Amino acid sequence: MKKATRQAYGETLIKYKDKKELVVLDADLSAATKTDGFSKEAPEKFFNLGIAEADMIGTAAGLALGGKRPFASSFAIFEAGRAYEQIRNAVAYQKLNVTIAATHAGITVGEDGGSHQAIEDIALMRVIPGMTIINPSDDLETEAAIEAIMQQEGPVYLRLGRLAVARIHEQKKPFIIGQAEMLRQGNDGTIIATGLMVQESLAAAEQLAQQGIEVRVLNFSTIKPLDEELVLRAAQETPWLIVAEEHSVIGGLGSAVSEFLSENYPTKVIKIGIQDKFGQSGEPEVLKEFYGLTIKNITEKAIQAAK
């Protein structure tokens, strides 16, 4: 089964439409962010702010100050970029319970091209004090993450994708913010992945096992706060780590892992992501191949590291 995490986002909001404090905002992209279903089910709790992302975030801040728990929805490039100042000053500076639900993140936005492909959004959000960053791997984890966010204090950046992705979890389980999960055991090396790169990493681990290389696969759906304990264990128990993400290799999960280990347990970290380039127009699978976000590239990097 394949489903986009943005689709799971929209469906989950509808499930919680009767939750008193929940309100949903959008910047005239509800059909794409999948909040259009919520707008029909609970029109009195839905606010379309038009093509005005900064205004949307400011309005979300005001609603949060009034006791609501707003989910502000738009494309990642517009929210993390155009509304950055409002996220920083109106939301995070005041430690408000606002979720920035950023869809269409990464290069798998596809044909919309480099201007619409947010590959630096995690980096931008990571440097904001107190910001929680969640990047779910599949639809079930997205639903569980939203449930956890509703109990979370403070701002959250929820990163969602356009592309339908395979389900890696057999069933929904409680989502604990700040806690990563081990999906596969192995001591020859470690692959740390987030978002859609989790499915690629699991497939790569299967191929590596056929060549006698047993790697562990860790799903870091929470990027900030980083699960430092699991990172440290992986560094201590395996000789190298690969970090795979649909984001620039600068400032994302790979940087977070490297920064932590450089001060606590220096070891080899290989970063798979966008190598300091902009995206470009193309079919998502073609772009993944071009930028090396593939099973093949992960496998090759792991084999080289294992030599």
Catalytic residues: 53
* Closest C-alpha to 255, from 194, 186, 185: 194
Q: Could you tell me which of 174, 169, 171, 263 has the C-alpha nearest to residue 219?
A: 169
The token pair that represents 138 in the structure block:
């599949």
Beta-carbon contacts of residue 165 (< 8 Å; ≥ 6 apart): 2, 3, 4, 5, 137, 138, 139, 196, 199
Separation of alpha carbons 122 and 250, rounded Å: 10
Tokens 């620039």 sit on residue: 248
DSSP per residue, 54-119: HHHHHHHHHHHHTT-EEEEEEEHIIIIIITHHHIIIIIITTT---EEEEESBSGGGGGG-GGG-BS
Token pair 């699960």 in the structure block, residue: 227
Rounding to the nearest 10 degrees, give the CA dihedral for residues 182, 185, 186, 190. -10
